[in-house]
Amino acid sequence: MIGLGRMGSDMTRRLMSKGHVCVVHDIHPAAVAALEQDGATGTASLADFVSRLSTPRVVWMMLPAAIVDQELAELCPLLEAGDIVIDGGNSYYRDGIRRGADLTRRGLHYVDVGTSGGVAGLARGYCLMIGGETDIVDHLGPVFTALASGIDAAPRTPGRAAGHYAGTAEQGFLHCGPQGAGHFVKMVHNGIEYGVMAAYAEGFNILRNANAGKRTHSADAETTPLQNPEFYQYEMALPDIAEVWRRGSVIESWLLDLTATALLQDPTLDNFSGRVSDSGEGRWTVAAAIDEGVPAPVISAALFARFSSRDNAAPANRVLSAMRKEFGGHDEKKEGS
Amino acid sequence: MIGLGRMGSDMTRRLMSKGHVCVVHDIHPAAVAALEQDGATGTASLADFVSRLSTPRVVWMMLPAAIVDQELAELCPLLEAGDIVIDGGNSYYRDGIRRGADLTRRGLHYVDVGTSGGVAGLARGYCLMIGGETDIVDHLGPVFTALASGIDAAPRTPGRAAGHYAGTAEQGFLHCGPQGAGHFVKMVHNGIEYGVMAAYAEGFNILRNANAGKRTHSADAETTPLQNPEFYQYEMALPDIAEVWRRGSVIESWLLDLTATALLQDPTLDNFSGRVSDSGEGRWTVAAAIDEGVPAPVISAALFARFSSRDNAAPANRVLSAMRKEFGGHDEKKEGS
Amino acid sequence: MIGLGRMGSDMTRRLMSKGHVCVVHDIHPAAVAALEQDGATGTASLADFVSRLSTPRVVWMMLPAAIVDQELAELCPLLEAGDIVIDGGNSYYRDGIRRGADLTRRGLHYVDVGTSGGVAGLARGYCLMIGGETDIVDHLGPVFTALASGIDAAPRTPGRAAGHYAGTAEQGFLHCGPQGAGHFVKMVHNGIEYGVMAAYAEGFNILRNANAGKRTHSADAETTPLQNPEFYQYEMALPDIAEVWRRGSVIESWLLDLTATALLQDPTLDNFSGRVSDSGEGRWTVAAAIDEGVPAPVISAALFARFSSRDNAAPANRVLSAMRKEFGGHDEKKEGS
Amino acid sequence: MIGLGRMGSDMTRRLMSKGHVCVVHDIHPAAVAALEQDGATGTASLADFVSRLSTPRVVWMMLPAAIVDQELAELCPLLEAGDIVIDGGNSYYRDGIRRGADLTRRGLHYVDVGTSGGVAGLARGYCLMIGGETDIVDHLGPVFTALASGIDAAPRTPGRAAGHYAGTAEQGFLHCGPQGAGHFVKMVHNGIEYGVMAAYAEGFNILRNANAGKRTHSADAETTPLQNPEFYQYEMALPDIAEVWRRGSVIESWLLDLTATALLQDPTLDNFSGRVSDSGEGRWTVAAAIDEGVPAPVISAALFARFSSRDNAAPANRVLSAMRKEFGGHDEKKEGS
The answer on pLDDT for B163 being more than 60 is: no
Amino acid, single-letter form, for residue A306: R
User: What is the pLDDT, as a whole number, of residue B226?
Assistant: 82
Best of B290, B310, B330 to disrupt the C interface by mutation (most C CBs within 10 Å)? B290
Measured CA to CA, the distance from residue C58 to residue B164 in angstroms comes to 66
Average pLDDT over residues A269-283: 92
Measured CA to CA, the distance from residue A194 to residue A202 in angstroms comes to 12
- The closest CB to that of C154, out of D196, D230, D247, belongs to D247
Query: Residues A36-87: pLDDT tens digits?
Result: 999 999 999 999 999 999 999 999 999 998 899 999 999 999 999 999 999 9
D27-51: b or e for each residue (b if 16 or more CB lie within 10 Å)?
eeeebbebbeeeebbbbeebeebbe
User: How many other C-beta atoms are found inside a 10 Å radius of the C-beta of residue A32?
Assistant: 20
Bridge-based pairing state of the strands C41-43 and C23-25: parallel
Return the residue of B nearest to A197 by Cα.
B196
B250/A160 touch (CB, cutoff 8 Å), yes or no: no
| DSSP codes of every residue in C314-335 | HHHHHHHHHHHHHHH-PPPP-S
Nearest to A129 by CA among A81, A93, A75, A77: A93
Which residues of C fall within a CB distance of 8 Å from D191?
199, 202-203, 206
Contacts of A among chains (3+ CB pairs under 8 A): B, C, D
User: What is the pLDDT, as a whole number, of residue D334?
Assistant: 60
Return the residue of A nearest to C198 by Cα.
A320
Contacts of C10 (CB under 8 A, 6+ apart): C119, C121, C122
Amino acid, single-letter form, for residue A32: V
Measured CA to CA, the distance from residue C29 to residue B326 in angstroms comes to 52
- Farthest-apart Cα atoms in chain B, separation: 76
A23 sits in which H/E element:
strand A23-25
Amino acid, single-letter form, for residue B27: I
Helix (DSSP H) and strand (DSSP E) numbers for chain C: 14, 7
Nearest to A333 by CA among C307, C310, C262, C313: C310
Cβ–Cβ under 8 Å, residues D327 and B119: yes
3-state DSSP assignment of residue A6 = helix
Amino acid, single-letter form, for residue B170: E
Cβ–Cβ under 8 Å, residues B100 and B127: no
User: How many other C-beta atoms are found inside a 10 Å radius of the C-beta of residue D224?
Assistant: 24
C117/D248 touch (CB, cutoff 8 Å), yes or no: yes
3-state DSSP assignment of residue D331 = coil
Best of B95, B174, B202, B223 to disrupt the A interface by mutation (most A CBs within 10 Å)? B202
C258/A90 touch (CB, cutoff 8 Å), yes or no: no
User: What is the pLDDT, as a whole number, of residue A253?
Assistant: 97
Nearest to C1 by CA among C37, C77, C66, C52: C52
User: How far is CA A160 from each of CA A155, B239, B245, B265, rounded to the nearest angstrom?
Assistant: 11, 10, 15, 9
Q: How confident is the model at residue B336 (pLDDT cuts 50, 70, 90)?
A: very low
The answer on pLDDT for B143 being more than 50 is: yes
Which residues of A fall within a CB distance of 8 Å from C312?
205, 337
C193, C252, C281, C332: the active-site residue: C193
Please indicate whether residue D205 or residue B160 has the higher confidence score (pLDDT).
D205
* H-assigned helices in chain D: 6-17, 29-37, 46-51, 68-75, 93-105, 121-124, 134-139, 141-147, 181-208, 238-245, 254-265, 281-292, 297-309, 314-328
Measured CA to CA, the distance from residue B63 to residue B80 in angstroms comes to 22
- Based on its alpha-carbon atoms, the radius of gyration of chain C, rounded to whole angstroms, reads 25
Instruction: Tell whether the torsion through CA atoms of B308, B309, B312 and B315 is positive or negative.
Output: positive
Measured CA to CA, the distance from residue C27 to residue C66 in angstroms comes to 15
User: How many other C-beta atoms are found inside a 10 Å radius of the C-beta of residue D321?
Assistant: 25
CA C152 to the chain's CA centroid: 23
Contacts of A311 (CB under 8 A, 6+ apart): C337
- The closest CB to that of D294, out of A287, A295, A312, belongs to A312
Measured CA to CA, the distance from residue D3 to residue D86 in angstroms comes to 12
The CB-side HSE value for D133 (13 A sphere, CA atoms) comes to 14
Query: Residues B285-307: pLDDT tens digits?
Result: 999 999 999 999 999 999 999 99
C157/D293 touch (CB, cutoff 8 Å), yes or no: no
Bridge-based pairing state of the strands A109-116 and A127-131: antiparallel
Average pLDDT over residues B115-134: 94
Measured CA to CA, the distance from residue A106 to residue A80 in angstroms comes to 9
Q: How confident is the model at residue B331 (pLDDT cuts 50, 70, 90)?
A: confident
The answer on pLDDT for B162 being more than 90 is: no
Tell me the pLDDT of chain D (337 aa) as tens digits. Answer: 999 999 999 999 999 999 999 999 999 999 999 999 999 999 999 999 999 999 999 999 999 988 999 999 999 999 999 999 999 999 999 999 999 999 999 999 999 999 999 888 999 999 999 999 999 999 999 999 999 999 999 999 998 875 544 589 999 999 999 999 999 999 999 999 999 999 999 999 999 999 999 986 555 555 667 888 999 999 999 999 999 999 999 999 999 999 999 999 999 999 999 999 988 999 999 999 999 999 999 999 999 999 999 999 999 999 999 999 999 888 877 654 4
Bridge-based pairing state of the strands C58-61 and C84-87: parallel
Cβ–Cβ under 8 Å, residues B184 and B285: no
| DSSP codes of every residue in A114-139 | EEE-GGGHHHH-BEEEEES-HHHHHH
Measured CA to CA, the distance from residue C10 to residue C123 in angstroms comes to 9
Nearest to B300 by CA among D323, A294, A298: A298
Which residues of C fall within a CB distance of 8 Å from B300?
286, 297, 300, 304
Any bridge partners for residue A257, and if so which? none
Average pLDDT over residues B106-115: 98
Average predicted confidence (pLDDT) for chain B: 93
User: What is the pLDDT, as a whole number, of residue C217?
Assistant: 59
3-state DSSP assignment of residue D302 = helix
B297/C295 touch (CB, cutoff 8 Å), yes or no: no
| DSSP codes of every residue in D207-227 | HHTTTGGGS----BTTBPPPS
Q: How confident is the model at residue A167 (pLDDT cuts 50, 70, 90)?
A: confident
Measured CA to CA, the distance from residue B156 to residue C305 in angstroms comes to 38
Nearest to A302 by CA among A152, A159, A208, A202: A202
Average pLDDT over residues A148-165: 81
User: What is the pLDDT, as a whole number, of residue D218?
Assistant: 54
User: What is the pLDDT, as a whole number, of residue A166?
Assistant: 54
The answer on pLDDT for A163 being more than 70 is: no
- The closest CB to that of C327, out of B250, B294, B310, belongs to B250
The answer on pLDDT for B25 being more than 80 is: yes
Q: What is the pTM for the complete model shown?
A: 0.95
Measured CA to CA, the distance from residue B319 to residue D208 in angstroms comes to 11
Best of A68, A216, A327 to disrupt the C interface by mutation (most C CBs within 10 Å)? A327
C295/B287 touch (CB, cutoff 8 Å), yes or no: no
% of residues, chain A, pLDDT over 70: 94
- Write out residues in chain C with pLDDT < 50, as ranges: 164-165, 336-337
* H-assigned helices in D140-180: 141-147
Cβ–Cβ under 8 Å, residues D88 and D113: yes
Query: Residues A309-326: pLDDT tens digits?
Result: 999 999 999 999 999 999
Total residue length of chain A: 337
Contacts of B129 (CB under 8 A, 6+ apart): A241, A244, B113, B114, B115, B116, B173, B174, B176, B181, B182, B183, B185, B186, B189
Measured CA to CA, the distance from residue C98 to residue C88 in angstroms comes to 16
**Residue A186 falls in the annotated catalytic set:** yes
User: What is the pLDDT, as a whole number, of residue A252?
Assistant: 96
User: What is the pLDDT, as a whole number, of residue D181?
Assistant: 98
Query: Residues A2-40: pLDDT tens digits?
Result: 999 999 999 999 999 999 999 999 999 999 999 999 999
User: What is the pLDDT, as a whole number, of residue A337?
Assistant: 41
C248/D195 touch (CB, cutoff 8 Å), yes or no: no
User: What is the pLDDT, as a whole number, of residue A216?
Assistant: 66
